[in-house]
Amino acid sequence: MIETVAVDEMLTLDDYQAHIHLSEAVRSLRTEARALVPHLEGRTVWMVNSTARGGGVAEMMPRMITIFRELGVDVKWVVIGSDKPDFFTLTKRLHNLIHGSGDPGLGAAEREVY
């Protein structure tokens, strides 16, 4: 099952830039984006998670997506899920592998679950 997540974040880059300790970082981000975003023209960046609520990634995603969109990047966020406990066990394992922990071997059984 794949579900698109609506993002209704209200903070803008101007809101972040209004904070003195973030103003230079926002200016730098905008400068870098002017050079890099054109390379993504005609493409979509897909954010894929196993949950839309709870957990650090899901909590950061609305603000990140809002910033990317404001910079001109076409971003979509989807949640892939399953009612099978093995699916969430596997997504946790993949998360740990991304962070360098765990056995990197994935076989046919894991591919079938995913």
Predicted pLDDT of residue 71: 98
CB 81 within 8 Å of CB 50: yes
pLDDT number for residue 9: 81
pLDDT digits (tens, 9 = 90+) for 52-111: 888 788 889 999 999 999 999 999 999 987 888 888 888 888 889 999 998 888 889 888
Domains and CATH numbers, the chain: 2-81 (3.40.50.2000), 82-114 (no CATH)
pLDDT, tens only, 5-46: 999 888 999 999 999 999 999 999 999 999 999 999 999 999
| φ, ψ dihedrals at 3, nearest 5° | -125, 130
CB 32 within 8 A of CB 24: no
State phi, psi for 90 to the nearest 5 degrees.
-70, -45
The length of the chain, given as a count of residues: 114
- Please provide the DSSP assignment of 39-86 as one string: GGTT--EEEEES-SSSSHHHHHHHHHHHHHHHTT--EEEEEE--S-HH
